[in-house]
Amino acid sequence: MKIGFAAVGLIGVLLFAPLQSSAQKSSWEKIKVHGKSLEGNLEGDSPDRDVFVYLPPSYATAPNRRFAVLYFLHGYAAHAETYWRVLNAPAAADAAMADGSVHE
């Protein structure tokens, strides 16, 4: 999967853990995205950043379907993984889909 930093630059992208009770399961991937604008930054941080991508249950079986996307910019002082764990977004997204509050 190749994603440009501009597409996911506003990220700590919310990704979610697998569903436990569905025949089809959601999944997520942790990928690296290169931020050209972060090259040579004054902190000396790597311009390659972790990005989490949530894939809803029917993602694998519906390759031509379009899915909604949510970008979350976590800010300078934290890392995407920190928010990933603190917000517990996987359980929230899976629960919202399970109770019908939201659709994939």
State pLDDT tens for residues 35-52.
999 899 998 988 998 888
Q: What percent of the chain has pLDDT over 70?
A: 75
Residue 46: name the closest of 34, 29, 57, 56 by CA: 34
50 burial (CB, 10 Å; 0-12 / 13-18 / 19+) is middle
Q: What is the pLDDT of residue 29?
A: 86
Q: What is the pLDDT of residue 66?
A: 93
d(CA 33, CA 41): 16
- Residue-averaged pLDDT of the chain: 75
Q: What is the pLDDT of residue 39?
A: 94
Q: Is the pLDDT of residue 84 over 60?
A: yes
**The model scores a pTM over 0.75:** no
